[in-house]
Amino acid sequence: MTPILTIENLQVEFSTPFGAVHAIRGIDFSLARGDILGLVGETGCGKSVTGRSIMRLLDENAKVSAGRILFDGMDLLQLTDTEMRRIRGNRIAMIFQDPATSLNPLFTIGEQIKDVLRAHRGSGRGGAKALAIELLADVGLPDPAQMMSVYPHQLSGGQQQRAMIALSLAAEPDVIIADEPTTALDVTIQAQILDLLRRLQRERSISVIFITHDLGIVAETCQQVVVLYAGRVAEKGAVETILARPQHPYTRGLLAALPRPGSRGNDLRVIRGNVPSGFERIVGCAFAPRCDYVMDICRAQNPAFSVIDSTHHSACHLHEMPANG
């Protein structure tokens, strides 16, 4: 089956007063229909910029310098603004970390959802209301008929995020990009929202790109995972394989750095040093300065993807070594 969304060699630069920042330096991955794909990495790895590039919502000073984003036979990067407006919200929707800033504070939840329903589905007045109530019920908001006349500030953080999800579903998009949708929420509320996303995936077979820094969320929510480091893909593949048998030294380091039950009394494994700033020109593998297994070739040449198995790829020179079994 063809993927619903494919990203090929995406490169994004930001111009700043201090010079160009290469936020994304060539990213490739594809999202299969009906999958939840986790896009993970630490601050500055380019995960949110990737999400915004797909939506074409990058800041003014950002520029896509290369690559293609293929969606339903189109390259989104080649569309006119008018054409893109028809895709955005309609066929690809986005959910942000802070729902309070993405919901309009001046309109009730009901008005906002009905607006989308009328614009995207051409529903009439009565039809839109019934559909909106149905959507609010579907995302688990209590007393959905009454919720229609409530303003965003009257909702808790978890309820706002549910309303945001209802809003993004209103246009029946093919793809939802969720950018850290639970990071601002408490764990018990996060559990509710993750449960909702899993159920919506089951019932509506939506395809989701789930941007997060939390490997635990990836393990519990996603089928596929793409691990980013300094604007490139370090490792990608099926979640179960990658979390059980990570191959890239960065993925291994990230997993080992997590405290877990039983880790008390031992030092946590540390990835030494810091993430590159984006200003410096990176030659070779970006992770080389922090890697425990660094070799001469790593400082000179960017590693290509090695196929670990058909669903698991890792960009590391170690995999090219004959003795590395």
Partner 1 sequence: MVEPLIKVQDLSMQFLRKAGLFGRGGQRVRALNGLSLHVRAGETLGVVGESGCGKSTLARCVLRLLQPTAGSIRFDDVDLLALNDEDMRRMRRRMQLVLQNPFSSLNPRMNGFELVAEPLRAHRSMPRKEMRDLVVDLLTEVGLSAEFLSRHPHQLSGGQAQRIALARALALNPDLIILDEPTSALDVSVQAQIINLLVRLQRQRGLTYLFITHDLSVVQHISDRIAVMYLGKIVEETSSEDIFANPRHPYTQALLSSTPSPDPAAKRQRIILPGTVPSAANPPPGCAFHTRCPQVMEMCRARIPHSRLIAEGHRVSCHLYEASA
Q: Are strands 224-229 and 36-40 parallel, antiparallel or unpaired?
A: parallel
**Alpha helices (H) in 257-322, listed in sequence order:** 296-300
DSSP-based helix, strand, coil % in the chain, nearest 5: 35, 25, 40
Q: Which is nearer to partner 1, 123 or 192 (CB)?
A: 192
Binding mask 177-216 for partner 1 (x = CB under 8 A): ---------xxxxxxx-xx-----------------xxxx
User: Does 254 help bind partner 1 (rule: CB under 8 A)?
Assistant: yes
- Binding partner 1 by CB under 8 A: which of 3, 32, 42, 91? 42
Binding mask 135-154 for partner 1 (x = CB under 8 A): -------x------------
User: Does 124 help bind partner 1 (rule: CB under 8 A)?
Assistant: no
Beta carbons of 244 and 251 less than 8 angstroms apart: no
Q: Are strands 175-179 and 207-212 parallel, antiparallel or unpaired?
A: parallel
Alpha-carbon gap, residue 201 to 77, rounded angstroms: 27
User: Does 105 help bind partner 1 (rule: CB under 8 A)?
Assistant: no
Site for partner 1 in 257-296 (CB under 8 A): 257-261, 263-264, 267-271, 274-275
Going across the sheet that includes 207-212, the strands are: 92-95, 175-179, 207-212, 36-40, 224-229, 232-238, 312-315, 305-309
Number of chain residues interacting with partner 1 (CB under 8 A): 45
Residues that bind partner 1 (CB under 8 A): 42-43, 142, 156, 158-159, 186-192, 194-195, 213-221, 239-240, 243-244, 253-255, 257-261, 263-264, 267-271, 274-275
